[in-house]
């Protein structure tokens, strides 16, 4: 069934997950496995290609072409050559002593004089204010991606402060380019989403092939809703969507047939069987 899925994550999650793994007392082999799994998940989060394809590939299946439903298909992700920004971000980590988090580092780069900046005299650093061309949100995106791509590491000792990973060296020496995904502007994204939802409302999706099927589906759902209301329970307590869909596909003509559908136990059959059979019969007659 068409459904909406939300994936929300940020740098804080990456840092705390890495810390949890590194700081735990699992054997090294186990930690290595956990790190690989986390990296795979982060790779999925930061991916710029069709997410449906990625998920199916994980389960050994193929999706023919792009799904045109996931965020990456609906709003193709732009990537940008972030080599210079990455160099600034990394050298700011280095100049501040490799023990601060992305928030403070962003303040230093954008030249914001905070209490903390003054306390550590960071307004004197060569990296202070060199990153004014990017907004704090953009720097936060840069830092998140530098961590997920393994150029920066969270230091458990320094409460999640960021430190340079070995992989950062070639970038700092100008031997390696860094390309990052350009995160959509939150305001623009919200507007696009609203527009898309409005379009969807105008033209509701038909989940089923024939109009008759669609009508029966709606009738089955209406019956379920009214029974649920009568009994003051959520609809899924009457029948799960999967059971209802099975009823739609099989169109049982008798209690016996209905009872063979998974999710229809003896007591549900006795309580609701006749009513649902009537819905199917009525739909058939209308057809
Ligand atoms: Zn897709």
User: Ligand 1 center to residue 46 CA distance, Å?
Assistant: 14
Same domain, 270 and 142: no
Let me know whether 161 and 272 are in one domain: no
- Say how many Å lie between the CA of residue 45 and the centre of ligand 1: 13
Secondary structure (3-state) at 70: coil
What is the CA 122 to chain-centroid distance, rounded? 36
CATH number at residue 22: 1.10.10.10
68 three-state secondary structure: coil
Domain boundaries, position 219 = 211-286
**What does the angle CA 230 – CA 233 – CA 237 come to, to the nearest 5 degrees?**
115
Q: Which of 2, 184, 197 is nearest to 76 (CA)?
A: 184
pLDDT band at 11 (very low <50, low <70, confident <90, very high): confident
178 & 265 share domain? no
The pLDDT score that the predictor gives to residue 87 is 97
pLDDT at position 18? 85
Same domain? For 30 and 84 the reply is yes
Same domain, 90 and 146: yes
Domain assignment of residue 233, yes or no: yes
Instruction: State how many domains the chain has.
Output: 2
Report if residue 216 sits inside a domain. Answer: yes
Q: In this predicted model, what pLDDT tens digit does every residue of 33-89 receive, in sequence order? A: 898 888 888 888 888 889 888 888 888 888 888 888 888 898 888 899 999 999 999
* Cα(179)–Cα(145) distance, integer angstroms: 10
Judge whether 35 and 21 are in contact, CB under 8 Å.
yes
What would you measure as the largest C-alpha separation in the chain, in angstroms? 83
Statement to judge: residues 104 and 16 lie in one domain: yes
pTM, 2 dp? 0.64
Same domain, 33 and 102: yes
pLDDT of residue 76: 85
Residue 145 lies in a domain: yes
Q: How far is the CA of 35 from the centre of ligand 1 (A)?
A: 26
Rounded to the nearest angstrom, the distance between the alpha carbon of 65 and the centre of ligand 1 is 8
* Same-domain check for residues 230 and 273: yes
- Cα 211 to middle of ligand 1, angstroms: 27
Residue 49's pLDDT is what? 84
For residue 182, the CA-to-ligand 1 centroid distance in Å is: 18
Does residue 94 sit in the same domain as residue 225? no
Q: Could you tell me if 137 and 247 lie in one domain?
A: no
Whether residue 192 lies inside any domain: the answer is no
Q: Encode pLDDT of 101-155 as tens digits.
A: 999 999 999 999 999 999 999 999 999 999 999 999 899 889 989 988 889 988 7
Ligand 1 centre distance from Cα of residue 251 (Å): 33
Q: Name the band, by pLDDT with cuts 50, 70 and 90, for residue 213.
A: confident
Distance 49 CA to ligand 1 centre (A): 7
* 123 in the same domain as 40: yes
If you measure from the C-alpha of residue 72 to the centroid of ligand 1, how many angstroms do you get, rounded to a whole number? Answer: 6
- Domain-located, residue 62: no
């Amino acid at each position: 069934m068409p459904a909406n899925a939300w994936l929300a994550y940020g740098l804080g999650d990456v840092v705390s997950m890495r810390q949890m793994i590194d700081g735990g007392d699992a054997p090294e082999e186990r930690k290595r496995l956990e790190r690989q799994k986390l990296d795979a998940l982060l790779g999925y989060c930061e991916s710029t290609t069709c997410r449906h394809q990625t998920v199916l590939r994980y389960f050994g299946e193929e999706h023919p072409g792009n799904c045109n439903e996931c965020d990456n298909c609906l709003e193709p992700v732009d990537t940008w050559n972030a080599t210079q920004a990455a160099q600034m971000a990394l050298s700011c980590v280095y100049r501040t002593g490799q023990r601060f988090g992305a928030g403070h580092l962003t303040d230093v780069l954008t030249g914001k004089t905070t209490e903390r900046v003054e306390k550590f005299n960071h307004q004197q650093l060569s990296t202070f204010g060199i990153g004014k061309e990017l907004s704090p949100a953009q720097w936060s995106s840069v830092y998140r991606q530098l961590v997920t791509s393994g150029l920066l590491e969270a230091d458990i000792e320094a409460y999640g402060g960021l430190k340079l990973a070995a992989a950062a060296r070639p970038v700092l020496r100008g031997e390696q380019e860094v390309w990052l995904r350009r995160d959509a502007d939150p305001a623009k994204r919200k507007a696009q989403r609203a527009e898309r939802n409005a379009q969807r409302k105008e033209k509701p999706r038909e989940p089923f092939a024939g109009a008759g099927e669609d009508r029966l589906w709606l009738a089955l759902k209406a019956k379920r809703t009214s029974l649920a209301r009568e009994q003051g329970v959520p609809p899924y307590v009457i029948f799960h969507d999967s059971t209802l869909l099975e009823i739609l596909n099989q169109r049982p003509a008798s209690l016996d047939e209905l009872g063979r559908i998974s999710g229809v136990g003896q007591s549900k059959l006795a309580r609701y069987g006749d009513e649902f059979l009537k819905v199917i019969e009525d739909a058939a007659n209308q057809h």
